[in-house]
Amino acid sequence: MRIAVGGIFHETNTFVADPTTLADFRAYQFAAGPDLLGWRSTRSEIGGFLTGCAAQGWEPVPSLFAAALPAGLVDHAAFDSLTSQLIDGLTSAGRPDGVLLCLHGAMATTQSPDADGEVLTRLAAALGPDVPVVVTLDFHANTGDAMTGNADALLGYDTYPHVDMYDRGLEASGVLAEILRTGQRRRAVHRKVGLITPPQVQYTDLPPMQAIMKRIHDIESAEDVTITVTPGFPYADVDCMGLSVVTSSPDPACAAQVAATVADDVLARAEDFSYEAYPVAEAVRLALAADEPGPVVLVDSADNVGGGGPGDGTAILAEWLAQKGTGLAVVIADPAAVAKAVEAGIGAQVRLEIGGHTDNRHGSPIPVTGTLRLISDGTYVHRGSYATGITTRMGRSVVLESSGNTILLTERRVMPFDAQQLLSVGVSPRHCRALVVKSAIAWRAAYGEYASRVIEVDAPGVCTANLRRLDLPEARYGLIRPQVIGQAGGAGRTGAAG
């Protein structure tokens, strides 16, 4: 059998002004045709698809996989181009026997608020009704009718941090194999819960998500049904935004009943999605006072690169320097500062204005003086549990030692999801006094093992946990009023390591 493989992947933050272009996809992850077969060795959804094809004796038909870093609305012309290339590749050698597709689920364009649903709608029109389609989704998908109405099954990640992408790709190939073996098509359904939660409270190793995931796995083991809970991506102001339960089964009634049951169970836990964070100055004071061995992790989730943040937020670094702190390691995306440092050369004493250049939401540029210790091309391969084997390119990168602190300046913003981000430039996170991570939860896959203490910081930015700052609509789902749970009151709290 011939099974078509591909995908388009983008998490769109509609509060980010700059659009995502075709060049952004080509610069980040882009593989077409036979080049996509090289992903078999990666712990990605595509890797899982290809491994599953080999196990089933299928011939994979590689089309296109294109991904861009989370950012603003995707330029619709770029979306049209990518979608056309994807579908042409899936159907170029005739109609396939089945399709394995990797989508994010929270992509929006300058013209389409549900771009993933649009991809599936166009694919269905090209293939006709006889070809089964099984889709993997990110944990933060904003699912809607167009997605579930044009796929046999939608399988989202079970983990956050996302360390099961390969497993979900492999599972998708198993679901497709069952459809092809039995001839029984599945029906996907979804149920909106009417709950909006920030990523900071969606960690699957702790309640409430830990209990929710256990519940759905128990049901799956007893029923012929797949279940996905997608907390959604709250930084996309679109109608389908919010927490969803997605099920699929050969029995539509079973799928609908299970979706309703799980949705009710999730809604009953709404008050458990609480989150507290320390103001910046207090967070820095706590970190400087800590006496635990190993680094304190200061979580700058408001500048979450994995959610569309620019990666150049300066609020925590500025406060750390104001309090005369030493031993901090922080990554700042600032191509202009990198260019000046490279021109000065290794060993040079430089004075730079770093960070805070993208907008006025993430702090102001701050002056630093230091010694340039290293210049790198910024390329590294993931060796940890997140997307193992994938190559990340930070662009030209420099290590600056300033006032007893280590600042990694990069040309490109990079999600801090693998420790090679620092290790590849000679910075040992284990021996730092403190680390700033520009992420909500996924940083734990990279630096969780090093953390002696975790301090959530209420810094400014487009990925703030206090969703009320974003002026989200009061009613997003018609008669159901979503419960927005953002930053709680009080002095805040810190989380345990790991």
Q: What is the pLDDT of residue 276?
A: 86
Q: What is the pLDDT of residue 494?
A: 31
Q: What is the pLDDT of residue 485?
A: 52
Residue 208: cis peptide before it, omega within 30 degrees of 0 = yes
Instruction: Lay out the sheet containing 187-192: strands in order across.
Output: 187-192, 244-249, 226-230
Under-50 pLDDT residues of the chain: 475-482, 486-498
Q: Quick check: 329 and 426 in contact, CB under 8 A?
A: no
Model confidence pLDDT, tens digit, residues 126-165: 999 999 999 999 999 999 999 999 999 999 999 999 999 9
Of 411, 415, 412, the C-alpha closest to 386 is 415
What is the helix (H) or strand (E) element at residue 329, kind and residue range?
strand 328-333
Between 209-222 and 252-268, two packed helices, what is the crossing angle to 10 degrees?
Answer: 160
Q: Is the dihedral of CA 415, 416, 419, 422 positive or negative?
A: positive
Gap between the Cα atoms of 289 and 323, Å rounded: 11
Q: What is the pLDDT of residue 342?
A: 98
Q: Is the dihedral of CA 252, 258, 261, 267 positive or negative?
A: negative
Q: What is the pLDDT of residue 101?
A: 98
Measuring CA to CA, how many Å separate 210 from each of 203, 271, 380, 403, 492? 8, 15, 32, 41, 22
Q: What is the pLDDT of residue 304?
A: 97
Structure tokens at 446: 């990279």
Q: Where does 10-114 have alpha helices with state H?
A: 22-28, 45-56, 76-91
Of 117, 152, 76, the C-alpha closest to 241 is 117
Q: Quick check: 96 and 2 in contact, CB under 8 A?
A: yes
What is the helix (H) or strand (E) element at residue 445, kind and residue range?
helix 444-447
The residue type of 347 is G
